Chains A and B, each alone.
Chain A
Amino acid sequence: MAYSEKVIDHYSEPRNVGSLDKSDLNVGTGLVGAPECGDVMKLQIKVDPQTKQIIDAKFKTFGCGSAIASSSLATEWVKGKSIDEAMSIQNTEIVEELSLPPVKIHCSVLAEDAIKAAISDYKSRNED
């Protein structure tokens, strides 16, 4: 399988691999999976309580290069965005940025799902 240069870049030097403190109220944790291939993706965001901007993001993905690259890119993109802005990230943008072939589009969908799951988790723990 031919991976694009950007995928190879993210795969060999993934940005933001790691964990945030799950119990921190400012942290939202999203855990998603793709049953069709058995990929598991965890994406976490840290929200600034004052500005409601995402100030940090970390991920850990068990899956193929495209899945790792998609989630790595997702953490890069959400940093500095507001929650609403992050919510509107589309998987198609990830596909375009990484030049994902049709068979790997589901990896980008998974990354979009992970962002939304992290935001949803954050929101549910911070209901006013």
Chain B
Amino acid sequence: MAFDKPACHTCESTLVSRLFCFSCNALQPFPRETDLFEVLGFPICFELKSAELEERYEKLSLELHPDFYDSAPEAEKLLSETATAILNTAYKTLREPTLRADYLLHLLAEKQNLDERSLPDGFLAEMFFLQEALDELLDSGNAVELSAMHDNLQNRKKDIEADYAPLFKKHEDHPEDSGILQQLQTHLNAERYLRRLLERIPASD
């Protein structure tokens, strides 16, 4: 997706991050609707190299840190605080695949009419069954079975996560096919139920 790069309000160089100009080291006033990809200066797409994300985040963290604006005018001090806050939100969201997928889907699906509660057929009934089974396992304290259930659920979660990248790529290639976004919604919904189950299983060791 094309990344519309705005210009620095001081020196007019093209901005990498919407929050800060690396050419003249000026904090940038930014609109409320700034999306989290713009904040960190990455294109709006799912593929994101974590090493690049880390590097960009650290660089911006240092530049925006309120400590360095201690003796700056009030407005700039405040801007460094709001910028740091949104920077941290952006980092937290983009570094975790499910959060990133969820956020990106939210951006892409804005004009579409997605069914936000979609689930695979029979999935809810299965989740209920598993929750009841988990109740029994937790009562009985059967560590072997609990561990097996944990691994099984974890694998299912990983399978879902592995599908994010190909589906987003498919959407890029076929933006007119809203079925692809719906599939992503279904995946993300399923992932949340699986995660709730996993949270109930105590970590072994």
Once the chains bind, are B128 and A35 in contact (CB under 8 Å)?
no
A87 at interface by CB-CB < 8 Å: no
Stretch of A4-12, A37-45, A68-76, A77-85 that contacts chain B: A37-45
B153 at interface by CB-CB < 8 Å: no
Chain B contacts for A40, CB-based, 8 A: 124, 127-128, 131, 193
Chain B contacts for A39, CB-based, 8 A: 196
Once the chains bind, are B127 and A35 in contact (CB under 8 Å)?
no
| Interface SS, A side | strand
* CB proximity to A under 8 Å, residues B114-166: 116-117, 119, 124-125, 127-128, 131-132
Q: Smallest CB–CB gap between A15 and chain B, Å?
A: 19
Once the chains bind, are A33 and B127 in contact (CB under 8 Å)?
yes
Once the chains bind, are B195 and A35 in contact (CB under 8 Å)?
no
Q: Given the complex of chains A and B, what is the CA–CA distance between A2 and B192 in angstroms?
A: 24
Chain A contacts for B116, CB-based, 8 A: 35
Q: Smallest CB–CB gap between B187 and chain A, Å?
A: 11
Nearest residue (CB) in B for A42 is B128
How many chain B residues sit at the interface, stated as a range, is: 10 to 19
Chain A contacts for B189, CB-based, 8 A: 35
Q: A40-B124, A40-B193 are in contact. Are A35 and B131 (CB under 8 A)?
A: no
Q: How many residues of A are counted as interface, with CB atoms below 8 angstroms from the partner's CB atoms?
A: 12
Nearest residue (CB) in B for A34 is B117
A36 at interface by CB-CB < 8 Å: yes
Q: A33-B119, A40-B124 are in contact. Are A62 and B192 (CB under 8 A)?
A: no
Chain A contacts for B119, CB-based, 8 A: 33, 35
Q: Given the complex of chains A and B, what is the CA–CA distance between A42 and B132 in angstroms?
A: 11
Q: A40-B131, A62-B131 are in contact. Are A31 and B124 (CB under 8 A)?
A: yes
* CB proximity to A under 8 Å, residues B65-89: none
Q: Given the complex of chains A and B, what is the CA–CA distance between A33 and B190 in angstroms?
A: 11
Once the chains bind, are B192 and A31 in contact (CB under 8 Å)?
no
Chain B contacts for A32, CB-based, 8 A: 124
Once the chains bind, are A35 and B193 in contact (CB under 8 Å)?
yes
Q: Given the complex of chains A and B, what is the CA–CA distance between A31 and B121 in angstroms?
A: 13
Once the chains bind, are A38 and B196 in contact (CB under 8 Å)?
yes
* CB proximity to A under 8 Å, residues B174-193: 188-189, 192-193
Nearest residue (CB) in A for B129 is A40
Q: Give per-residue flags for B35-69: 1 if the beta carbon is below 8 A from chain A beta carbons, else 0.
A: 00000000000000000000000000000000000
Chain B contacts for A38, CB-based, 8 A: 192-193, 195-197
Q: Given the complex of chains A and B, what is the CA–CA distance between A60 and B131 in angstroms?
A: 10
Closest 5 A/B residue pairs (Cβ): A38-B196, A35-B189, A62-B131, A38-B192, A38-B193
Known contacts A31-B125, A31-B128, A62-B196; 14 additional CB pairs below 8 A are A31-B124, A33-B117, A33-B119, A33-B124, A35-B116, A35-B119, A35-B188, A37-B192, A38-B195, A38-B197, A40-B131, A42-B128, A62-B128, A62-B131
